[in-house]
Structure 1
Amino acid sequence: MPDCYDHDHQVVWNAFSGELWRRTKQAVERYLAALCRRRGIPRVEVVTDSGRVRRVPPIRVSHGKVAEMQRRGAVHFHVLLRLDGVDPGDRHALVPPPAGITVDDLVAAVHAAAGQITFATPPHPDRPQGWSIAWGEQVDVRRIGTGDGDVTDARVAAYLAKYATKATEVTGHCSTRLTPDTVDAYADPEGDHLARLIDACWRLGRPTRHRTSDTAAQAESRQGGLDTTPHAYAGLRRWAHMLGYGGHFLTKARRYSVTFGLLRDTRATYRRADDSSVTVGTLAFVGSGWLTDGDALLANSAAAQHRERSRVGREELAHELWSGVAA
């Protein structure tokens, strides 16, 4: 039942899911670094761009990540992780991890991090203790490779591209960024699942600074604008059309070998070659009339000016014709 679902927590999770991933990757790297110490694998000395010598862990984890919106409106991540070593002579070189560290260790690090990382969001007037952000039970870790064990850039791009083709349309919601003039067409605290999620974004993202005047209090209502003094939840209104998720659909580590250009090309190839479905186009009704009073005013003013120019033109033409006949 919709009344039993915690819509507030879901949109907050969407908003903070990027921070959850950042902490999780750091935990994976810490796990592997500690494993190297226990197994006697020494740190590596590298020279930075400034010429300083640093001792760094002998392993490096690079990633490519795609955010996929599920039908229920929750963000779902598909992540490719690559475990590299560190070359002391060229810290930008791609080298295998040191002997003694295997893919099994990377799998164990991911499971450990996903099961341990959790944090509370900042206080909110509606929930002073904040919300708990953590991974659910559906953490699926698999090895990706070819028959000969060679994982090429094209294969990696193909894997990510099939998830990058999905967007928020799968939830049934499709709109541009919402404004105080358009939010009521989509948000409803008593509506369906999506309408309640959008309402939660707009309500939790409202301005939170103290106001005293009636005019200011009215501005804080559901029709109020974006907060001019951003707070931890202000982005919920900005990204209400994305159900609170404001991150990029695709991110990658700087050293990850797959480029965005290759991913775009592979995505286009995948969509053309996908035999499961053929999408010719998608049309969706988004509304009728002008979105704001300002748009209507501009349109009506332009139409009035056009009518006036046409009238003056007809009068000038008639005058010229009359003058020619009279002559």
Structure 2
Amino acid sequence: MTVSTLTVVPEASASGTAPCAEPDSLTLSLLARSTDTHRQALARAARADFPAWVRHVRAASACARPIRLHGTMSTIEAETGRLLSTVDTADLPDGVIYKPCGNRREALCPSCSARYKRDAYQIVRAGLVGGKGVPESVSAHPAVFPTFTAPSFGEVHTRYVRRHTCTKRKDCDCRPEPCHARRNNPRCPHGRPLACFARHADIDTLLGAPLCPDCYDYPAQVVWNVLAGELWRRTTEAIRKYMNRLARARGIEPKSIRLAMGKAAEMQRRGVVHFHAIIRLDGANPDDRGDRTILPPPPGFTAQDLVDAVDHAAGTEFTTKPHWINPDGWRIGWGDQILTKIIAKVPTGVDGEVTDAAVAAYLAKYATKSTEAAGMVAGRLTPDTIDLFANTQGTHAQRLVAACWALGRPQEWRRLIRWAHMLGFGGHFFTKSRTYSVSFGFLRDQRIVFRRTESGGPGRDEAVPEQSTTLVVNFLQFVGAGWHTTADAMLANTSAALAREHQQAAQAELATLAA
């Protein structure tokens, strides 16, 4: 029998009537079925298992749309196969476990995106200075930071600052140059002016939109997006071949060098991607190409050699297969704006250099950005939802989606329909070669080990045995995505926000004591 701990007489230190009685089960049931989110939250918070629920959802509490899984989780002794414990999700709050969605897109899930960004930063930084299993000797290897842009598909509104005087580019309030200042004020064949004298603010919705939508080459842009990954592959092959020829010219065995690369794709406001990359020169074992050990490169190579290789590969191009709209195919190549900076371990002030910390922060930032920069935020499109996002006479993003849907009808071009919600780009926004650094999976496994050691494993209060001697076997199936109610989402996110504030306050206090 449960006995209430609330008193039923007036408190001695206060005037008035007795405290309110605890709500009964009928009241809680009515509150839970209410359409008012605050009443739903009150019903959840008044339940006896609320503290257990808060602890249970802690791992996914800040996620916008967590994954719900149902099944059993077993811990087995690896050597003997003895079952140590079994947890059934039916015995847990809500009958499921909550797992963060892991979406990297900041516009869809800020919490998972922030974790992805931190992991991307660690991966990029480790590949430049070492750590997390990468030898610190990589900091002495030549490395460059090239940026590959897309060609022009038509004049668009832009914001250009000739000389920055701000201290933070993120909050830049410098005076920009006129968008497209032209003396003769020309007009396109459709009668629209091709001049714009506005000094656009950074939040201006016109940025990235074409001066004349009817002149803009939408088919060419979406085709370029869908084949950008293939262009990048051919470019990396051209860079490797250039370095191999350079090695042979210097009397060095080409098999004794290896290029380690990483890249992040940035979606520009005009709806086309460009790539920020890292290229690091390593040594390799010429007798065993399967050896992934990171070795110093042979003497005589410099970062300028990598710059020359990038400049040579920037001319890579190819022609697509014929399409009924363009029987000759489209030319796929890079734009004219190719910029390559040398990654300096210690800043020297030389123009064209960038530090490893700046590169890591830059790539991590763009690893979580996507089509929201072009005004498109949507999941995968279907014939039932395409009319909500595609319009041949609509906004810039709507015209790009419509072009993807129209061009993707032939079987060999179906990828355009599959990736219409990404404006045609179907590649990963952050990729790297195996030898560059550790992987996202490595960092996730480290977190799992830490959490199980900290909490004693899923659903258990006792300490977990030595990690190397146990196996966790999950028999889980997907049952849904998202919180059960808006109230649950509000309570979980509030709990996560309070935990973050507590952590930040503790870090600030430790920093104060250390100072």
Which TM class, normalised by the smaller chain length? 0.5 to 0.7
Counterpart in 2 of 1:303?
none
**1:165 is matched with which residue?**
368
Q: In structure 2, what is the Cα distance between the partners aligned to 1:261 and 1:153?
A: 23
* Contact 2:264–2:366 (CA under 8 A) maintained in structure 1: yes
Q: Distance in 1 between matches of 2:395 and 2:408?
A: 20
Q: Which moved more, 1:95-104 or 1:6-15?
A: 95-104
RMSD over aligned Cα atoms: 2.5
Paired letter, 2:217: D
Distance 1:136 1:262, change over 3 A: farther
- The count of corresponding residues between Structure 1 and Structure 2 is 227
Cα pair distance change 1:262/1:154, threshold 3 Å:
farther
Question: Quick check: which one's helix share is greater?
Answer: 1
Residue 340 of structure 2: SS of its match in structure 1?
Answer: coil
1:38 aligns with 2:249: yes
Shift of 1:165: 2.8
Match of 1:70 in 2: 268
Q: Unmatched 5+ residue regions in structure 1?
A: 44-56, 209-229, 265-327
Structure 2 unaligned spans of 5+: 1-211, 349-353, 445-515
Q: How many angstroms apart in 2 are the aligned matches of 1:92 and 1:18?
A: 24
Task: Write the deviation string for residues 168-227 of structure 1: whole angstroms up to 9, x where unpaired.
Answer: 111111111111111111111122211111110000001x3xxxxxxxxxxxxxxxxxxx
The offset of 1:4, in angstroms, is: 0.8
Instruction: Give per-residue Cα distances to partners, 1:85-106, cap 9 Å, x unaligned.
Output: 1134763221122122211111
Question: What is the aligned partner in structure 1 of residue 509 from structure 2?
Answer: none
Cα distance in 2, alignment partners of residues 204 and 182 from structure 1: 18
Q: How does 1:161-240 map to 2 (within 5 A)?
A: 161-206=364-409, 208=410, 230-231=411-412, 233-240=413-420
Shift of 1:59: 1.5
1:146 Cα deviation after fit = 2.7
Query: Quick one: distance in 2 between partners of 1:239 and 1:184?
Result: 15
The secondary structure found in structure 2 opposite 1:83 is strand
Residue 58 in 1 paired to residue 256 in 2?
Answer: yes
Q: Name the CA distance, whole Å, in 2 between partners of 1:106 and 1:66.
A: 19
Q: Is the 8 A contact 2:238 2:313 kept in 1?
A: yes
Does the residue aligned with 2:227 lie in a helix, a strand or coil?
Answer: helix
Taking only the aligned residue pairs, the percentage that are identical comes to: 57
Please tell me whether the aligned partners of residues 161 and 263 of structure 1 are also in contact (alpha carbons under 8 angstroms).
no
1:102 to 302, 324, 342: 302
Aligned position for 2:471 = none
Normalised TM-score (structure 2): 0.42
Question: What is the TM-score when the length of structure 1 is the normalising length?
Answer: 0.64
Letter in 1 for 2:333: A
Query: Which residue of 240, 251, 259 maps to 1:29?
Result: 240
Q: Could you tell me which residue of structure 2 aligns to residue 129 of structure 1?
A: 328
Deviation at 1:147? 1.4
Offset at residue 239 of structure 1 (A): 0.6
**Which string of whole-angstrom CA distances, capped at 9 and with x for unpartnered residues, describes residues 64-119 of structure 1?**
1111111110011111111111134763221122122211111100011012x100
Match for 1:97: what amino acid?
A: P
Amino acid at match of 1:105: D
Which residue of the partner structure matches residue 318 of structure 2?
A: 119
Q: CA deviation at 1:252?
A: 0.7
The correspondence for 2:293, drawn from 69, 73, 93, is 93
- Aligned-residue offset at 1:60: 0.9
Which letter does structure 1 place at the counterpart of 2:389? Y
Q: Which residue of 2 aligns with 1:242?
A: 422
Distance 1:261 1:138 in 2: 34
For the 8 Å contact 2:345–2:356, the answer to whether it is kept is no
| Contact 2:343–2:355 (8 Å) recurs in 1 | no
